[in-house]
A and B are shown apart, each in its own frame.
Chain A
Amino acid sequence: MIHKVITKNEFKKFVDGLIEENQTFGPKQVDKRADGSGIYQFKEVNSYDDMDLDYTVTYSSVKNFFLPFREELSSFDFSDKGWDQTVEYRVNPRVIIGVRPCDINALNILDKILIGGAYPSPYYMARRTNTFLVGMDHEPLDDCFCESLGHDTVHRGFNLFCTDIGDKYYLTISSSKAFGFLKNVKVADPVNGDSVKFHERRKYLRDSFKTKVEVAGLPSVLDIEFKSPVWKKWGDKCLNCGTCAMVCPTCYCYGIEETIDVNLKSSRKERVQYSCNLVDFAEVAGGHNFRPLKEDRLKYRFYHHYRGFAQNADDPICVGCNRCGRACLARINPKDVISDLQMED
């Protein structure tokens, strides 16, 4: 890991250079809520000024750049005798700018599951390796709780990370590609004053978290509260709409759809993002549903996130971005559900 500093003017040049050479995505305000607050998403951008880099947090995570909501795994052609299968996972190199620490940590968790598991996904790997990630710190929103889970800072999984130290960015460079790109602009070695500001900024951000979620001992709380009435209380509110899982940076469940084209000469196999909150997630052949109740479905989403599954070494997969809580129309959010459980005895 190498540290450098860059003035904000020079950084702008650097970003415009990246954008000129690559397909680039960055945060953009797409709408305003009824209360006036901005709604941001990662969108394709054409210049530095096209982005809203002082954004708070995007409504949806960057997950879908790596795990698209719908992705073709293979296509089949049987117009002649026999059949041909085509598998294609080539992606063009691309750049994403302004990704938050919790989101990069989320990608590191997905790496463990989708690359480190028994069956690494070539589709995910192709997207991950061909994406140049520029991370950026930010002042937490009132409801962000990534600090409670230790995901407010990030040490790997990006190419370049920018910490705002006033008129300059303190750069953490963690790939040779990033080092190479930076050769085209003016960067300097940090002087003592820069490093002091860097540590002050880190401390300031860490102290800015207003929402704390007590996660120590949470796995055993969850085991003990498996039959708690708390699940029904929140389950009764749940719309089973899957919104929480769609916007979440780590939910990775999917279904497989096979479609035969209407000409009967070709077909496709697609991976489609799914959610354990959806009514038929645990429905099996013959129609039996292992989780017929809203509260059960909601409960399992919390179990996966805070207690962990064997698939991800029993580690929690939540990074504390509170996207689920913000997007849930029923106001179901990790902080309130967890504190309800902890109040049970």
Chain B
Amino acid sequence: MKYLGIDPQKVRVGVFDFTGCEGCELQLANKEDSLLDFLSLLEVVNFREVSSDRGDDYDVALIEGNISRADEIDRLKDIRAKAKVLVAIGSCACFGGVNQQKNRFELDDVVKEVYGDHKVETDKVKRIADVVKVDLEIPGCPVSKEEVERIVVNVVLGAEIKIPKYPVCVECKQKVNTCVVDLGQICLGPVTRAGCDAVCPSGKVGCLGCRGPAEDANFESLKQILMDKGHSDSAIVERLRFYGAFNGTVG
């Protein structure tokens, strides 16, 4: 494929899954009408969902999922050593995601609750950035394919990569949605990074914060607003803990 008469540099990628639901990987293989164009920008050397090749000579490693077993640490370090650029994709990789909720309980209790007496090896959940250096984070549960496409196009063409710094409310207002806070709900839209086109509030569900904190987000103010509206401190904290993206602010 040529761009303005020039053959763009394809990106040699490997996609690797750790502890997660593989939903983000599935997203990469989604959006069929542009999937062939998307894949033609890439040289996929390792991606279980689209090809049986298992190469090691990738430049960019896309990492899905979080780290919750000792063997995953070694595997991740090995990938880091081979990749020029390492990208964490999805809320699990970026923030720990839904699974990090178990970090607040005793591991033995968690295992017992889920698996009964069956023995499983599992550790406290770590983000990818807790283990290796991460060059770029693409948040979202799951990631937005549109956003991934934009980023890949810009990488291929050498253009700047932009992820919104402002919160979800901007996109929500631009869709002329009713604010679900006015409907009595908790919404993390005012402190969460935009880029999802405000899908949850557009469906009348308060934002759960899957894209992580917006820049210079005002947690204190949002907390005060929600408490003034009668929401309990624990309900707000629980919401902030959902994806682990706000753990720095709620402890």
Contact = CB atoms under 8 A, between A and B. Distances in A.
A34 B182 contact: yes
Contacts of B41: 262, 264
Interface stretch (A105-113, A273-281, A305-313): A273-281
Interface string B178-201: 110111100001110000000000
Contacts of A330: 221, 225
Interface stretch (A130-138, A153-161, A167-175, A238-246): A238-246
B207 to A, nearest CB: 12
Contact of B173 (A70, A242, A259, A292): A242
A279 B165 contact: yes
Interface in A15-58: 30-31, 33-34, 39, 41
B134 to A, nearest CB: 19
A195 B217 CA distance: 54
A41 B176 contact: yes
B157 interface: yes
Contacts of A33: 182-183
B123 interface: no
Interface in A223-263: 236-243, 246-247, 259-263
Interface residues of B, number: 45
Contacts of A279: 165-166, 214-216
Interface string B128-163: 000000000000000000000110111011010000
Between B154, B165, B221, B222, the greatest number of chain A beta carbons within 10 A of the residue's beta carbon is seen for B221
Between B4, B166, B189, the greatest number of chain A beta carbons within 10 A of the residue's beta carbon is seen for B166
Interface residues of A, number: 40
A330 B190 CA distance: 10
A34 B153 contact: no
A205 interface: no
Given A39-B178, A246-B174, A260 B169 contact: no
Contacts of B156: 264
| Interface SS of chain A | loop
B218 interface: yes
Given A34-B183, A329-B225, A242 B165 contact: no
Given A78-B4, A264-B2, A279-B215, A242 B222 contact: no
Interface string A276-294: 0011100000000000101
Contacts of A183: none
A225 B38 CA distance: 54
A172 to B, nearest CB: 29
Given A239-B218, A261-B153, 10 more contacts: A33-B182, A70-B174, A83-B4, A242-B166, A242-B167, A259-B150, A264-B41, A279-B215, A329-B181, A329-B190
Top 10 A-B residue pairs of the complex, sorted by shortest distance between their CB atoms: A246-B173, A69-B174, A241-B169, A34-B184, A239-B190, A31-B178, A278-B166, A263-B37, A264-B3, A242-B170
Interface of A: 30-31, 33-34, 39, 41, 59-60, 64, 69-70, 78, 81, 83, 236-243, 246-247, 259-264, 273, 275, 278-280, 292, 294, 327, 329-330
Interface of B: 1-5, 8, 34, 37-38, 41, 149-150, 152-154, 156-157, 159, 165-167, 169-170, 173-174, 176, 178-179, 181-184, 189-191, 214-218, 220-222, 224-225
18 contacts: A39-B178, A59-B178, A60-B173, A64-B176, A78-B4, A236-B220, A239-B218, A242-B167, A243-B170, A260-B159, A262-B37, A262-B149, A263-B37, A275-B170, A278-B165, A292-B216, A327-B173, A329-B179
